[in-house]
Amino acid sequence: MKVSTSGLRQDSPAKPLLLGLFSYQGITDAAGAASGLTLVCGDLANEPSYRGHLVKLLSGAAAGQTRHIDSHVAGTTTLIVNEPFTDNAGAVVPVVATTLFVILSLYTDEGVPLYGGTTTAAGQLDGKTMVDTGLAVPFTVDDEPIGHTVRITNSTTASLIGQERQIYAYDFGTSVLYFDTAFTAQVPITTTYEVLRDRPEGGGGSPGPSPEPTVEEVDWKLADKDIFDVAEATADTLRWSSEYQLGAADGVADINTTTPSALYVQVLAALALAACQYGTRRLYPSYARKFFTLTDADITVTNEDVNPVWAGLAASGGVAWDANNYIAIYKRQSNTVEQICVESNIAAAGAAIQVILATTQDAVAFKIERQDTIWRCYYSLVQAPRHYWILAAEIEDATNAMTDRTSIYLTAYNPEDAVGQEIECDFHLWEYYETLGNLGDILQKLQGSVIAQGTFTTSSLTVPADTGRAEGNQFFKGCILMPIGGAIAYQPRPIRAFT
């Protein structure tokens, strides 16, 4: 209802003052959310939007408290405030029915949203994503909404109403918002929300992940990397070897030739139809039992057929492709499905394929991690530099059938159902990381211990120097020198002399 001035003389000087101070007064006719963040009054449906104003409670457990109205859609009955109402003990209380309140005429633009929308599909089960194809209109590049905050204003899952989460990543291609801290439940379809302006502390920007990294994560060291910016017409280099993992024809690969700054892999079904897997193998196998490798992949499929083509990242036991011992994560596509899958065959147990996610996203990223006999596969629908890794599968190699020497592949597969069926993939980035945990493994095998550590001050292939050392001549003679960073990490060498 409008502000009442009954009881005042018509010529009272207080009348215009009162009318100027308050925009609305009313009585709630239903209980608000248990979160203490909402107020419900049916008569508000007849009012314009009061977003940006202040609401003050005049009765109930939180009488006297004032809150900023962060959301009120014109013609609707619910106000959402910036923080919960509380009682005299500081406990959060809902605004119950029959609560008297007034909306003050004071106004600020704090909390006025950049955008308001409705989800067009359900988010992930873990509550860390929200999907709305309408996001492509206000936010036209991946970085644009990062650092701002999403507030849910209405949802079929009532507990989500009023919850706020900071945006960690946004993928324009799939219209997906990613949140570092999950909502308390999956965000369902038809959920209405607002993207708030500068609500995070400091406002906007790129916050990055908030959880503290584990000790192991801190210890990961970049040991190898390729951004594929040096042209090679056949993708055969000192680093990579292009080769068939299955079949003997129809595969093509090049570096920085077909696609700038990319390793291009293609398998095109020709007249002699025969299934083919083709790609590039890292020439230096990994001898580490703790590592991870990742890549960004842009996948294009032409003339898809009954059986799916795919492209992605794989690891195989040994120095050549072993069809009885491998792990792969890839995006596959047929004329009926588009999916991210994990495939493995350990100790010749037979190929097992796990369907992880149905997605039409063609610009993806994959990661394979090894922790001794445990292998984990991850995917990200956001490419570098804002990877948002989601665990796809964990596989145990109980007998170490993959061995202590594994090879890494950037590869594509075509079942060749018909002539013209084609899979192409541009790998734009590849990285390989090891952890200091490998040093402990090596020392254990050597039955050694660390007696000193430092940083070289002079580079050399044979006589590196650390001028900060104070030990006497030949103190380290006969010991093992173990680099733990850079391109030569974990390559032990005996020390022949020390001066």
Of 71-80, 288-297, 417-426, 451-460, the poorest mean pLDDT is in 451-460
Q: What is the CA radius of gyration of the chain?
A: 30
322 and 454 in a common domain: no
Of 209-213, 347-351, 485-489, 495-499, the poorest mean pLDDT is in 209-213
Of 10-14, 376-380, 425-429, the poorest mean pLDDT is in 10-14
145 and 61 in a common domain: no
Residue linked to tokens 């959301």:
71
With bands split at pLDDT 50, 70 and 90, how would you rate the model's confidence at 130? Answer: very high
Strands 326-333 and 493-494: unpaired
What's at 122, amino acid-wise? A
| Distance separating alpha carbons of residues 313 and 245, to the nearest angstrom | 13
Tell whether 355 is covered by a domain. yes
Neighbour tally for 392: CB within 10 Å: 19
Residue linked to tokens 């309408």:
134
Q: Which helix (H) or strand (E) holds 445?
A: helix 437-446
What is the structure's pLDDT at 369? Answer: 94
Task: Provide the edge-to-edge strand list for the sheet that holds 149-154.
Answer: 113-118, 192-196, 149-154, 164-171, 176-179, 129-131
Average pLDDT over the chain, rounded to an integer: 85
Which one of 53, 77, 107 terminates a domain? 107
Highest mean pLDDT pick, 4-18, 41-55, 97-111, 185-199: 41-55
Which one of 138, 165, 196 terminates a domain? 196
Which is nearest to 314 in space by CA: 437, 430, 426, 234? 430
Q: 75: Cβ–Cβ under 8 A, 6 or more apart, which residues?
A: 45, 46, 47
Highest mean pLDDT pick, 81-85, 87-91, 177-181, 209-213: 87-91
222 and 359 in a common domain: yes
Neighbour tally for 467: CB within 10 Å: 8
- Helix (H/G/I), strand (E/B), else coil: 26: strand
Q: 288: Cβ–Cβ under 8 A, 6 or more apart, which residues?
A: 370, 434, 438, 490
Tell whether 34 is covered by a domain. yes
Higher-scoring residue by pLDDT: 107, 457: 457
454 and 362 in a common domain: no
| Distance separating alpha carbons of residues 52 and 41, to the nearest angstrom | 18
CB 316 within 8 A of CB 448: no
As a whole number, mean pLDDT of residues 66-87 equals 87
Q: Which helix (H) or strand (E) holds 441?
A: helix 437-446
What is the structure's pLDDT at 204? Answer: 31
489 and 373 in a common domain: no
Of 9-13, 56-60, 97-101, 408-412, the poorest mean pLDDT is in 9-13
With bands split at pLDDT 50, 70 and 90, how would you rate the model's confidence at 397? Answer: very high
What is the structure's pLDDT at 172? Answer: 80
Neighbour tally for 481: CB within 10 Å: 13
CB 331 within 8 A of CB 362: yes
With bands split at pLDDT 50, 70 and 90, how would you rate the model's confidence at 200? Answer: very low
In the chain, the N- to C-terminal Cα span, in Å, equals: 91
173 and 64 in a common domain: no
Tell whether 323 is covered by a domain. yes
What is the structure's pLDDT at 327? Answer: 98
Exposed / middle / buried, residue 373 (Cβ in 10 Å: 0-12, 13-18, 19+): middle
CB 375 within 8 A of CB 249: no
Per-residue pLDDT at 211 exceeds 90: no
131 and 98 in a common domain: no
What is the structure's pLDDT at 23? Answer: 87
Residue linked to tokens 């004329």:
335
Which is nearest to 379 in space by CA: 235, 228, 237, 178? 178
What is the structure's pLDDT at 213? Answer: 40
142 and 126 in a common domain: yes
With bands split at pLDDT 50, 70 and 90, how would you rate the model's confidence at 216? Answer: very low
379 and 301 in a common domain: yes
Q: CA 275, 280, 282, 287: dihedral to nearest 10 degrees?
A: -10
Helices (H) and strands (E) in the chain, counts: 3, 29
What is the structure's pLDDT at 18? Answer: 59
Per-residue pLDDT at 277 exceeds 90: yes
As a whole number, mean pLDDT of residues 352-368 equals 91
Strands 53-57 and 100-107: antiparallel
Q: Which helix (H) or strand (E) holds 371?
A: strand 363-371
Q: Which helix (H) or strand (E) holds 81?
A: strand 78-81
As a whole number, mean pLDDT of residues 297-309 equals 97
How many structural domains compose the chain? 4
171 and 126 in a common domain: yes
With bands split at pLDDT 50, 70 and 90, how would you rate the model's confidence at 339? Answer: very high
Tell whether 265 is covered by a domain. yes
Per-residue pLDDT at 167 exceeds 50: yes
What is the structure's pLDDT at 496? Answer: 81
| Distance separating alpha carbons of residues 312 and 18, to the nearest angstrom | 68
Compute the Cα dihedral for 357, 243, 246, 315 and give only its sign: negative
Peptide bond into 385 cis (omega under 30): yes
As a whole number, mean pLDDT of residues 474-493 equals 78
Tell whether 52 is covered by a domain. yes
What is the structure's pLDDT at 498? Answer: 83
Which one of 107, 138, 159 terminates a domain? 107
Q: Residue 149: which domain range?
A: 113-196
What is the structure's pLDDT at 8? Answer: 47
Q: 392: Cβ–Cβ under 8 A, 6 or more apart, which residues?
A: 329, 340, 342, 354, 356, 357, 377, 378, 379
As a whole number, mean pLDDT of residues 346-354 equals 95
Higher-scoring residue by pLDDT: 23, 446: 23
With bands split at pLDDT 50, 70 and 90, how would you rate the model's confidence at 215? Answer: very low
| Distance separating alpha carbons of residues 494 and 448, to the nearest angstrom | 13
CB 27 within 8 A of CB 41: yes
431 and 450 in a common domain: no
Per-residue pLDDT at 175 exceeds 50: yes
CB 293 within 8 A of CB 315: yes
Tell whether 8 is covered by a domain. no
Percent of the chain with pLDDT over 70: 87
Residue linked to tokens 């600020």:
108
Beta partners for residue 192, in sequence order: 118, 154
Residue 82 sits in a domain whose CATH number is: 2.40.30
239 and 369 in a common domain: yes
Of 118-132, 210-224, 450-464, the poorest mean pLDDT is in 210-224
Of 66-75, 176-185, 488-497, the poorest mean pLDDT is in 488-497
Tell whether 9 is covered by a domain. no
pTM: 0.58
Residue 292 sits in a domain whose CATH number is: 2.60.120.200
Tell whether 76 is covered by a domain. yes
What is the structure's pLDDT at 140? Answer: 76
